[in-house]
Every structure is written in structure tokens, then in C-alpha cells.
Amino acid sequence: MRWLVTGGLGFIGAHFIRFALNALPHVEIVNLDAMTYAASPERLAGVKDDPRYRMIHGNICDPAAVDRAIDDGVDAIVNFAAETHVDRSILVPETFVQTDVLGTHVLLEAAREHNVARYLQVSTDEVYGHVPEGESSEDDALRPRSPYSASKAGADLQVLAYWTTYGTPVLITRGSNTYGAYQYPEKIIPLFITNLIDDLAVPLYGDGLQVRDWLHVDDHVRGILEVLLHGEIGAVYNIGGGNLRTNLELSRMLVDMCGRSMESHVEYVTDRPGHDRRYAVNCAKLRELGWAPRVEFEDGLRSTATWYRENEAWWRQYRKHGTWVKS
């Protein structure tokens, strides 16, 4: 089996590639990645010489690059490629529409033309928008509120339209907030850990009471693989860790783990415009396929903090202190 994985030099895509090559000896993977600021080849240093792995530098918005990547035929496309940072989407929304919506359209056309057996779109629970109570189910309305989540929702709707209109064999996963080793240090958990390592305060948006459901990257990629192999064509699957915490609670855990204090190391900053207060997903559908999250939140967070302490050289090359968004 040969798969095209896009955005495989990114945080979750790289974990997925390593996991899939390891778990499935009969799988070959072609990785198409535009190498934006968020890409890091070091995430795949361990597999770069594996004969079952090939990297192609190219943009999913470019039909010629996508064609080149699937020249020899592929059995599946797994689309991780995206602009992913909500704060950036508020500053430069057009790049999000380009990659997340238009890029997805180009991949869907390629899937259609090449009769790919499975197309999996990696999406996010943010497409449901703010969920004041209860949990989002897969058939709930999409009410995205940031340029990022609106672009991801636009992609999801394109994907579902290709299933309805052309019978393209699609699947969608909607993962919740993900954390773990090798996450780019603009995202809240690595940003906070690296600030705390450097004895800097962590910037907490608004009152810090926004709720997120934290999912370890190992659990996320196991869920995606499960859906790719055994999901029902045309269906959407939520993937959540079941770890609902406010950002304030998260800060307290990280501050404790890094041996700092809330009083001296938390700085309340002006809230993000349109900041969703709460996300929560119901994962019963994925659990029916036999998946369940395995990483306990406190253990996962502690091992992630340890990883950043032991891999300073990796994150220091990307980080500028005190900046939320790398220019």
C-alpha cells in the first residue's frame, strides 16, 4: 500500500508517519510538504533513510505538485497540511483560506481523478465553534468563529460535498487540542513550558477560563490510523482526549511541573478577539471502532515538559521570546 501524506513535516503529521511506518510494514509513504515556518525535518530524522518513505517539497495548492506526488498511484491520501495557528489566522486570514480550503479542493480533485481508495481529511473540533454545555457530535451544525476554524470548516464541507456529489471515498477526523513532543513553540503548551524553562511569565488570555479538551498526539494519530483503516466511508469521527481543563488550570499544572509560581509567572493579557470559551467532543463513534485514549493527562503533560527540557536545541531555533507570532 502506498499513501500520500500531506503536511508530514508538521507536528501531528510527523508523529503519524513515524507511527504508521512502524505499525504497518507493508505501507509506503510519500510526504508532500511545502516546508512553511511550521515544518521541521528533524521531526522525521529517524525515518528519512527508510526506503518506504519519500519526501517531496511541494504545495497542496499546486495541482502539478500534487500530481507529481501521486504519479505512481496511491491507495490513500491523508491531508494534514494546513495553516494551524488561530492567532496567525486573525493576522493573515488569506493564507488560511488558500491552504486549508483551496489546497483541500486540489487534493480532492486529485483523489477523484486518480480513483484513490480513501481520502482522509484531518480536521479539528474547532469547526463546531463555542460549545456552552454538553459535547459536540459529528452531525452537529458547524459554527466556526475564527478565520482558522472557518477555513477548516470550509474544507470539511468541500470534502463531504465530494462524497455526496462524486462518491469520492472520504473520511474526516475532528481532533481536539493536541499536545506532545515536537510541537511548534507558538502553541499554548510548548509556549508556556519554554517560557517557564527560561524563567519568563506565561501570557494567559482574558480570564483564563476558556475550556479545551486535551489529547495526546500519540492518541490522536492512533485515532486517525484507526479511521483510515476501518472507518465508514463518508463518515466523520471526533477524536478527543476527555481531558477538559480551563487554560487557568492548565497553567497551574505547568507552573507546578516547572517549579515556578502562579503569582510571579502568570501574566493576564488582553483576550483574543472572538475567543471560543469551550470545546468538548463526543467520541462514542470512534470508540465503537475500538479506539480509546491511553495517555493520562498529567503523565502526558509531565513527559512533554521533560521532552522540552531535554530538547532545547530543537525549540530554541524557532523561538523568539515574548512573541506570540513568529514573523
Ligand X SMILES: NC(=O)c1ccc[n+]([C@@H]2O[C@H](COP(=O)([O-])OP(=O)(O)OC[C@H]3O[C@@H](n4cnc5c(N)ncnc54)[C@H](O)[C@@H]3O)[C@@H](O)[C@H]2O)c1
Q: Which of 56, 62, 49 is CA-nearest to residue 99?
A: 62
Rounded Cα distance between 202 and 236, Å, is 35
Least distance (Å) from ligand X to the CB of residue 99? 4
Does position 80 interact with ligand X (CB under 6 A)? The reply is yes
Q: Which of 5, 6, 181, 283 binds ligand X (CB under 6 A)?
A: 6
Given 83, 100, 125, 135, the catalytic residue: 125
Percent helix, strand and coil across the chain, each to the nearest 5: 45, 20, 40
**10-29 residues near ligand X, rule: CB under 6 A:** 10-13
Cα 157 to Cα 267: distance, rounded to the nearest angstrom: 39
Instruction: Report residue 20: phi and psi, to 5°.
Output: -70, -40
Question: Does 180 help bind ligand X (rule: CB under 6 A)?
Answer: no
Is 33 a binding residue for ligand X by CB under 6 A? The answer is yes
Would you say 32 or 111 has its CB closer to ligand X?
Answer: 32
In the bound complex, what is the minimum distance in angstroms from residue 186's beta carbon to ligand X?
A: 9
Pair type for strands 76-79 and 2-6 = parallel
Beta bridge mates, 269: 205
In whole angstroms, what is the distance from residue 319 CA to residue 325 CA?
10
**Given 119, 128, 148, 179, the catalytic residue:** 148
**Number of residues binding to ligand X, judged by CB under 6 A:** 31
From candidates 31, 59, 146, 238, binder to ligand X by CB under 6 A: 59
Q: Does 38 bind ligand X (CB under 6 A)?
A: yes
Q: How far is CA 317 from the centre of its chain?
A: 21
- Residue 125 known to be catalytic: yes
Is 148 noted as a catalytic residue in this protein?
yes
Shortest Cβ distance from residue 60 to ligand X (Å)? 4
Pairing between β-strand 202-205 and β-strand 266-269 as defined by DSSP bridges: parallel
Residues 182-221 that bind ligand X (CB under 6 A): 184
- DSSP character string of 11-60: HHHHHHHHHHHHH-TT-EEEEEE---TT--GGGGGGGTT-TTEEEEE--T
By the rule CB under 6 A, 3 interacts with ligand X: no
**Which residues are identified as catalytic?**
125-126, 148
Binding positions for ligand X, rule: CB under 6 A: 6-7, 9-13, 32-36, 38-39, 59-61, 80-84, 99, 103, 122, 124, 152, 175, 177-178, 184
